[in-house]
Amino acid sequence: FAGSFYEQYHPLEEIYSWINKISHEHPDMLEIILIGSSFEKRPLYVLKLTGRRNSPRRAMWIDCGIHSREWISPAFCIWFVQNAIDSYNKNPEITQMLDNMEIYVLPVMNADGYVYTWTTRRMWRKNRSRYEGNNCVGTDLNRNFDAGWCTKGASHDPCDNTYCGPYPESEPEVSAVAKFLREKKDSMKLYFTIHSYGQMLLFPYSYSYNQAPNHDELQNLANEATQKIRRYYRTRYSSGPGATTIYLAPGGSDDWAYDLGIKYSFTIELRDTGRYGFLLPPQLIQPTCLEVLTAIKTITHHVIENT
């Protein structure tokens, strides 16, 4: 028996029924929000997670599954929601988080690509959009945001894995997220986008080598978070601006969120560093989620105290 529901990977249909089930079990803490649909018309569901005390004035966002082959990412979002509900009124940091933040969680942003990795090609990364005249399928959703769009580090070639799409926010998955975050931009204080693999905590910018205005604060915060992971779990995560820590990557969701005004914006590359890569075994889901939760708690605590 391969552990609980939260220690296994699940196909999209099972994730949708989990979203329904957990929302009905905890109507006082969870609300389902439909923010749009994918290219192939699958619904994009966001879970709004809040504590049971007075309505908080800040919001934070976590999206998972931008890249379909990174299965540990949706597994983290699902694990995070369940863990938060279980820890509320038991763990002080989680209780503080839920009582001070509306937490919006998008478990599978690239719904079509995720299905495709279960049915056809496990290593698929992009979405499944098709454009007249393009002889390849799919846009890299993490190159399609309107932030330094399609400069160095993305490709105009539809057959490339970093294809930026025909224009910024061309992809329905991207436009749905951008629309939602624009609507919430006054209360949204913190942005996380969850990827794999590489064990990194990245912050803006990736579309250029310029430093973000609050670079020192973000670097110190990222160092504090990765040092906690090192101390409690012995795992090593690197940290820094995307452009110099991993590679130039324009059109990314974190840079776009940052320039929208969300001054605490992070990309987390989960486990591992290459032994299994995207094919992380299910028994490593729990340890990965535990260490990343430590980083998220550290950062969220800082944001609550400083906004």
Ligand X SMILES: NCCCCC[C@@H](C[SeH])C(=O)O
Kindly list the residues in this chain that would bind ligand X in the complex (CB under 6 A). 67, 142, 195, 202, 206, 242, 246, 249, 252, 254-255, 267
* CB of 193 vs Zn ion, minimal distance in Å: 8
List all residues 6 or more positions away from 24 whose beta carbon is below 8 Å from its beta carbon: none
Burial grade of 85 (CB within 10 A; 0-12, 13-18, 19 or more): middle
- Of ligand X, Zn ion, none, which one does residue 263 interact with (CB within 5 to 8 Å by kind)? none
* CB of 29 vs Zn ion, minimal distance in Å: 29
User: What residues are labeled active site?
Assistant: 269
**Between 51 and 263, CB nearer to ligand X:** 263
* CB of 141 vs ligand X, minimal distance in Å: 9
- Of Zn ion, ligand X, none, which one does residue 242 interact with (CB within 5 to 8 Å by kind)? ligand X
> Interface with Zn ion includes 195 (CB under 5 A)?
yes
Distances (CA, A) of 94 to 49, 77, 122, 168, 280: 12, 15, 34, 36, 27
- Of Zn ion, ligand X, none, which one does residue 255 interact with (CB within 5 to 8 Å by kind)? ligand X
Other Cβ atoms closer than 10 A to 227: 14
Cα angle vertex 250, ends 249, 254, to 5°?
Answer: 85
Among the residue ranges 92-100, 105-113, 157-165, 194-202, the one whose residues contact Zn ion (CB under 5 A): 194-202
**Angle of helix 72-87 versus helix 12-25 axis, rounded to 10:** 10
List all residues 6 or more positions away from 234 whose beta carbon is below 8 Å from its beta carbon: none
User: What gap in Å lies between CA 61 and CA 294, rounded to an integer?
Assistant: 16
**Between 88 and 203, CB nearer to ligand X:** 203
Q: How many helices (H) and strands (E) does the chain have?
A: 9, 8
**Angle of helix 285-306 versus helix 215-233 axis, rounded to 10:** 140
- Of ligand X, Zn ion, none, which one does residue 280 interact with (CB within 5 to 8 Å by kind)? none
* CB of 67 vs ligand X, minimal distance in Å: 5
**Between 30 and 147, CB nearer to ligand X:** 147
E strands present in 50-161: 58-64, 101-106
- Of Zn ion, ligand X, none, which one does residue 15 interact with (CB within 5 to 8 Å by kind)? none
> Interface with Zn ion includes 143 (CB under 5 A)?
no
* CB of 125 vs Zn ion, minimal distance in Å: 7
**Between 17 and 244, CB nearer to Zn ion:** 244
- Of ligand X, Zn ion, none, which one does residue 112 interact with (CB within 5 to 8 Å by kind)? none
Which one of 39, 44, 61, 67 is in contact with Zn ion (CB under 5 A)? Answer: 67
**Between 67 and 271, CB nearer to Zn ion:** 67
Dihedral sign of CA atoms 10, 72, 65, 85 in order: positive
Tokens coding 84:
């938060």
Tokens coding 174:
């991207």
Dihedral sign of CA atoms 45, 49, 54, 57 in order: negative
**Between 50 and 267, CB nearer to Zn ion:** 267
Among the residue ranges 160-168, 180-188, 192-200, 248-256, the one whose residues contact Zn ion (CB under 5 A): 192-200
Tell me which residues touch Zn ion (CB under 5 A).
Answer: 67, 195
